[in-house]
Amino acid sequence: MTSAENTPAAGPRPGRYPAGSRAFPHRDLLAVGALERHEILFLLDEAEQWVAMNRTAAKHTDLLGGLTIINAFFENSTRTLLSFEIAGKRLGADVVNMHAAQSSVKKGETLIDTAITLNAMRPDAIVIRHGSSGATALIADKVDCPVINAGDGQHEHPTQALLDALALRHALQARGQTADDFTGLTVTICGDVLHSRVARSNILCLQALGASVRVCAPPALMPQGIEAMGVEAFHDFDRALEGTDVAMMLRLQTERMSGQFVPSPREYHHLYGLTARRLANAAPDAIVMHPGPMNRGIEIDSDVADSIDRSIITAQVEMGVAIRMACLDVLTRRRRGIAGWGDPA
């Protein structure tokens, strides 16, 4: 990493990406894998104004006044659903949450029929979380409004990767380091990589921004052929942490496991838990991240998770609202008739 020359990014920066809708030419946000580097930077820069607003007392604008956003969550979620709900409300939109437990899905309605039903209510954006990889793309194909993927199976969770990048940018800036891109930075993602859409989206996002990515997992939780994504794969956590600038910990996603993937939580903690002693193998002042929900004492110890100097876990949650505000704003510009973003739909 090179040292400071930057002031915190204040908003979209002309010249960094094409103007108007060409800065983000997609109707939907389904996967980081579909984004160019400049499109990622555009969303991060757009989010900075919302980070600033969210730190003021008022925290509200009517930018999306009159628009309806449906959060359709077919899988349990606390922080992601709340984060999208707060984001939509702070932008002045009408936000409606649909929980699968209360929906017609339980009565046997197909996903496509659900999509057609939601679409008939003329929403201006739909945010979807679903347990099956590819479900959000299937729905996006059937509706007329922008769709945001809030996590689909083991595939992607693009807003998580974007908020992680924004939190990392802020942490690096606070240390006086160049945070405009992550070239020279090594990030180690450790845990249940096999079942993690967060890992996949983060690998793609961090690499697009220039970082080197290592992944670490027990053999049973490491996807076959992960090296093809350009990462270095480790089973030995101490080696994976050597000299790393960032340790990103993942939860054991037991709800996605059929059968026994790890001998016991105690054994897992012994080999793969992030402890203060282990963190000493990383670069001095290495940053600790976790997308939540955390299992304290399994993949991460409380003293590490709560370390004011090292952990940016609560900043990740804060940045989540700002990133989701940026995504909702940018994706609805066309239908709001914003100059340069095409005719209203």
| Residues paired with residue 288 on neighbouring β-strands, in sequence order | 247, 311
Q: Which of 72, 185, 194, 198 binds ligand NCD (CB under 6 A)?
A: 198
CB 205 within 8 A of CB 246: no
Q: How far is CA 134 from CA 25, 155, 191, 256, in A?
A: 21, 7, 23, 16
Query: Helix H segments across the chain?
Result: 37-54, 79-90, 111-120, 135-142, 158-174, 197-208, 237-241, 265-272, 276-279, 302-305, 313-331
| Minimum separation from the CB atom of position 75 to ligand NCD (A) | 8
Per 3-state DSSP, the chain is made up of helix, strand and coil in percentages (nearest 5) of: 40, 15, 45
When asked if residue 292 is in the footprint of ligand NCD (CB under 6 A), the reply is yes
- Tell me the C-alpha distance between 240 and 34, whole Å: 28
Q: Going edge to edge, which strands form the sheet with 212-216?
A: 232-234, 212-216, 186-190, 246-249, 287-289
Of residues 157 and 169, the one with the C-beta less far from ligand NCD:
157
Q: Which of 26, 38, 79, 89 binds ligand NCD (CB under 6 A)?
A: 79
Of residues 61 and 253, the one with the C-beta less far from ligand NCD:
253
Of residues 38 and 79, the one with the C-beta less far from ligand NCD:
79
Q: Which of residues 135-154 bind ligand NCD (CB under 6 A)?
A: 151
Buried b (16+ CB within 10 A) or exposed e, 178-202: bbbbbeebbbbbbbbbbbbbbbbbb
When asked if residue 256 is in the footprint of ligand NCD (CB under 6 A), the reply is no
When asked if residue 253 is in the footprint of ligand NCD (CB under 6 A), the reply is yes
When asked if residue 131 is in the footprint of ligand NCD (CB under 6 A), the reply is no
Q: Applying CB under 6 A, what is the total number of residues that bind ligand NCD?
A: 11
When asked if residue 80 is in the footprint of ligand NCD (CB under 6 A), the reply is yes
Q: For 81, how many CA atoms within 13 A lie in the half-sphere containing its CB?
A: 16
Of residues 164 and 329, the one with the C-beta less far from ligand NCD:
164
Of residues 80 and 177, the one with the C-beta less far from ligand NCD:
80
| Minimum separation from the CB atom of position 324 to ligand NCD (A) | 12
Q: Which of 90, 155, 169, 197 binds ligand NCD (CB under 6 A)?
A: 197
Of residues 180 and 299, the one with the C-beta less far from ligand NCD:
299
- Positions touching ligand NCD (CB under 6 A) are 79-80, 151, 157, 160, 197-198, 251, 253, 291-292
